Structure 1
Amino acid sequence: MEKYLYLEDGTCWRGTACGAPGAVAGELVFNTSMVGYQEALTDPSYTGQLLTFTFPIIGTYGVLPDRNQSTASGCQAVILHTLEATPGPTGVTLDAFLQARNVPGIVGVDTRALTQRIRAHSPLKALLLDAPLTAAFAPVYARLTAAAKEPVRPLRLAQPGGHPHVVVVDFGAKAGIIAQLEAHGCAVSVVPPTTSLAQITALRPDGILLSNGPGDPAAMPTVLPLIRALQQRYPLVGICLGHQLLALANGARTAPLQFGHRGLNHPVTLLASGQTIMTSQNHGYTVVPASLAQTPLVVTAVEANDHTIEGLAHKTRPVFSVQYHPEAAPGPAEARPFFDQFVQLMEVRVTRHA
């Protein structure tokens, strides 16, 4: 069965259908990872996006147990050059995985040429259709995006008495973040961003984590007063979108990147030590350096390729953030000290309040 990828610049890419049938729309982005496709497909930060893999062969190890980052796939669709039909340890192929999660896809696309177009013209709106487009692009795009369902952010409460107790404000948190907190001995509660300060305080947290997630941080002003209040009361850290929202809450600005950082091969230099670590990233926005001048935040890390901000810390509060994903392991574990530092800050607080 044929599939059709239409871009807002008027170009059309034809290929073969994979995954689930159906028409979808969203922003077209690319990921440069050679592995980790299952984690990418289930990353909530890809919500509303059509995900292109630049690596030409995807699906070589099938589907692995315990690799999903959410209960539902984050991306709207997947765009591939070649789809391998190898079943993984679960006996499930990637194509079957996509079908089960209702994610449509297209195979046979020159994904590197498509990536070059994204780099030159991003952001790009796109349609993935089961049949040729017969109407104007804009109204079809508007209809399909309006029909897309917003993901549910479920409430999860930790067992009483667990310490250190982290409350994760869930903007689209990956399962790997929760797993790393638990691996570092934390009890974890997960709350949606609509939760009030009083409700979070009632949970008696030792620390707060602002999670990753999709979307433009500047379009989320209602959560900024909550972040400002939380950082005055608790050790607080942010990851990816959480990092950007922390910057906004302290008076900085964010801006879109030309084509985003998405992949496992992004070098980040830690300014205090001069060490450069390899990181996993998935974001389309960045903190504007010049906007930090009148804020209580300082830069702690930068991207080695384009020098965008990758880490921030508050000058007087136990508050810091990173743009990259410290729970992922491309280095493989050189970004994990993020969690050690967070736990240490919470232990100091627990000791003072004992």
Structure 2
Amino acid sequence: MTKGYIVLETGDVFQGEWIGAEREAEGEVVFYTGMTGYQEILTDPSSAGHIVAFSYPIIGNYGIHPLYKKGEGIAAAAVLVSDLCDEPSHYGSIHSLEEELIRKNIPGLKQVDTRALTAVLRKHGSIKGKIVKEKETYAGPWKEIDTVSLIQSYSVSRIAEWGRGKYHLVIVDFGQKNFLLQYLAAKGYRVTVVPFHTSFASIKELKPDGVIIGTGPGNPSDLPFLLPTIKKIAEHYPVLGIGLGHQLIALVYGCKTEKMLLGHRGENYAVKNTETGKVLITSQNHGFTVMKDSIDSETFKVQFFNVNDGTPEGLLHQYLPVQTVQFHIYSEETAQVLDSYLQKVEAVRGIGYVHA
């Protein structure tokens, strides 16, 4: 096997064996804690620009399933695993993880001590890294992540439509996940997906009953030019923000965001609903959060918070039909959030809801 190395900007170097495409790759090195879900995290557009290290030691044991992808292709820049399963066992598997990496031209390393790597990441937080073929430490320069370029790679380039139904939703696309479109179509909604930079006037011409500000990669603070449009949308339509959309809506109303030391990347994050007291077990993949102390209680109520670190996971506007969630909506349990938003859409339809 060809040896390869993951070099961190801290100077730490971890050796492994090359898998997938034999080409060097650079990005922010992050760790994922889920025992399953490797296909979902790799295909999630929010993983763009990331070298994903899996802390669980056995990866690839159920192969690649055509229904488990969150987006088209693999968004992650590269993959780091400890023990890679070469012969997956699952009735729906079409090929192995390594075969998928080769098909999608994504590099990676196996036989990496990913738990020791995770310990380094937990100590230092956000770290850039590069997969290289030579053992000598790569000293840079380290490429900065361009949020706009990442989003342009995954947002639709033109308007697209899904499903048919009585109610019409517009999704502002920053790198949308497949489940949301499938769920809304199954619920009988007509969905129009528009590029992330679409103007308010263009959205208004589509005559939506509600607007979803979607999820995607990057730093929300790099997108100030979008905030006036999002504010107009929120003043005219029921709005749901998911992931990056949650953070952008918070910025619109004066909140602040910050980069987290470690981020939330896994399938087992406990999130508590402040209204019902119920705890949801959620899937998450984000490195930025809304700062709790920056939330104006006269504007927003914190509807969800993370049980482990107290970070806000969802907001409810105090007088507009605007709500947000940080976690993924892709399961029956978390879809209840989406259902509550759809009830608002249906309630105001035909009333001529406009907030001036």
TM over 0.5: yes
Superimposed CA distance per residue, residues 45-75 of structure 1 (whole angstroms, 9 cap, x where no aligned partner): 0000100111100100111122221112111
Find the counterpart in structure 1 of residue 335 from structure 2.
336
- Tell me how many residue pairs correspond in the alignment: 347
Partner amino acid, structure 2, of 1:78: V
Q: Which residue of 1 aligns with 2:209?
A: 206
The 1:312–1:156 alpha-carbon spacing in structure 2 relative to 1, beyond 3 Å, is same
Give the 3 Å change call, closer, same or farther, for CA 145–228 of structure 1 in structure 2. closer
The equivalent of 1:37 in structure 2 is: 38
1:6 equivalenced with 2:7 (yes/no): yes
Aligned ranges 1:285-300 → 2 under 5 Å: 285-293=288-296, 296-300=299-303
Q: Alignment partner of 2:282: what SS?
A: strand
Contact 1:24 1:127 in 2 (8 A): yes
Distance 2:314 2:339 in 1: 16
The residue type paired with residue 5 of structure 2 is Y
CA–CA separation in structure 1 for the residues paired with 2:204 and 2:135: 53
Instruction: Work out whether 1:345 is the aligned partner of 2:344.
Output: yes
Partners of 1:103 and 1:289 lie apart in 2 by 37
| C-alpha contact (below 8 Å) 1:26/1:145 kept by paired residues | no
Q: 2: distance between equivalents of 1:169 and 1:24?
A: 30
CA distance in 1, matches of 2:163, 2:314: 32
Equivalent residue number for residue 194 of structure 2 = 191
Aligned to 1:153: 155
Partner amino acid, structure 2, of 1:347:
E
Paired letter, 1:95:
E
Inter-partner Cα distance in structure 2 for 1:128 and 1:227: 38
Give the structure-1-normalised TM-score. 0.93
* Residue identity opposite 2:153 in structure 1: P
Structure 1 145/95 Cα, relative in aligned 2: closer, same or farther at 3 Å? farther
Which among 286, 292, 311 is matched to residue 283 of structure 1?
Answer: 286
1:153 partner amino acid: S
Cα displacement (A) at 1:90: 4.5
Deviation at 1:143, TM superposition (A): 9.4
- Asked whether the 8 Å contact 2:62–2:93 carries over to 1, the reply is no
Q: What secondary structure sits across from 2:236 in the alignment?
A: coil
**Unaligned 5+ residue runs, structure 2?**
none
- Change in CA separation of 1:173 and 1:302 when aligned onto 2, cut-off 3 Å: same
Query: In the superposition, relative to structure 1, how do residues 234 and 245 fare at CA in structure 2: closer, same or farther (>3 Å)?
Result: same
Please give the residue correspondences for 1:110-259 in structure 2 after superposition, counting only pairs within 5 Å: 110-133=113-136, 137-139=139-141, 141-142=142-143, 151-154=153-156, 155-158=158-161, 162-259=165-262
**Shift in alpha-carbon separation, 1:145–1:346, aligned structure 2, 3 A:** closer
Name structure 1 gaps, 5 residues minimum. none
Q: 2:215·2:242 contact (CA, 8 Å) conserved in 1?
A: yes
Q: 1-side partners of 2:198 and 2:146: how far apart?
A: 26
SS at match of 1:252: coil
Correspondence 1:246-325 to 2 at 5 A: 246-293=249-296, 296-325=299-328
Structure 1 residue aligned with 2:76: 75
**Per-residue deviation, 1:160:** 9.5
SS in structure 2 of the partner of residue 352 of structure 1: coil
Instruction: Tell me, in whole angstroms, the C-alpha distance in 2 between the residues paired with 1:94 and 1:277.
Output: 30
How far apart, CA to CA, are the structure 1 residues paired with 2:233 and 2:10?
44
Query: Aligned AA for 1:61?
Result: Y
| 1:184–1:339 contact (8 Å) kept in structure 2 | no
Over 3 Å counting, the alpha-carbon distance change for 1:226 and 1:144 in structure 2 is closer
* Kept in 2: contact 1:25–1:145 (CA 8 A): no
> Are the counterparts in 2 of residues 184 and 343 from structure 1 also a CA contact under 8 Å?
no
Q: Does the CA contact (< 8 Å) of 2:154 and 2:174 recur in 1?
A: no
Give the percent of matched residue pairs that are identical in Structure 1 and Structure 2. 37
Q: Structure 1 residue 351: deviation in Å?
A: 4.1
**Contact 2:8/2:129, CA 8 A, preserved across alignment:** yes
Which SS does the other structure have where 1:232 is aligned? Answer: helix
The answer to whether the Cα contact below 8 Å between 2:273 and 2:304 also exists between their aligned partners in 1 is yes
Distance 1:214 1:348, change over 3 A: same
